[in-house]
Structure 1
């Protein structure tokens, strides 16, 4: 991961960083800036999930601060986050997301990604997905492990299920 800087939780919550940073154990943690493939996949995922906004009563967020541990004031910034409606509106997301997607950048270590996944799991996020656009791989994080996915699967949200055709999204990346 990038460089770190110690700051107070209050300073973190009242400062706009460019690019935004996560707040973990009292320290600002830089996120790696995504590549073109990362950005394109993130956009495609946002569009994909947005088609279910009305039918499944969800809201889709990109790179929005999520409170993952209120006691420690720990915040993460998932690449894609899907919330069931209704949700509490505010500066940061305090509701448990229905879906979190982390998109691996070439500079991301798997230790960093796994650390984020464990934070989401402690929050009891039911669908934690990691996607690697460079190698066209997708994993589901469950019970402390990453499970490599080889075919489309279904994501459960409060108001239904969403078939997640990650292989089609990767094929669409190849068309760009």
Structure 2
């Protein structure tokens, strides 16, 4: 171990490498992420990353999990500060879109299908995805009537997530202004309270 590598021991090396990778991701996008460049940015030998990451994809998966945790944290913090269920749902939606706008590269890597493979996420990512789905499902369920059946609850949760995620991507890519999220999310309450045709 080199002198520079010795600064990062007892688990610190992994964090330092992810910090460096996160900086590169924000500055230049995922294309700039190579193990050699991450090591250079972290100030360690070019072999040091292999102690924790076998390849570039593993680094990107680590970053995806890091940003998923931050996205979850932003949503939970927003929910705790809001009042009734509809207010909490709107607040969480705004936090979701806000995180995407403020961390576009990090948000993008979370949902990159080559990094977080649909149906086969990494062991680190899988529980985080489950927590995100549970958070949204619980908030939506609290906005529905007590007699809503499980299928209706599941469909409503999927619809809300799709709406919020779509807004986040459209705002991040510049196709919609940030204010569009507020207008769309303000309509969530009415949408959830409207019975489906034939119901």
Task: Give the TM-score normalised by the residue count of structure 1.
Answer: 0.29
Task: Give the TM-score normalised by the residue count of structure 2.
Answer: 0.27
Larger Rg: 2
Bigger fraction of residues in helix: 2
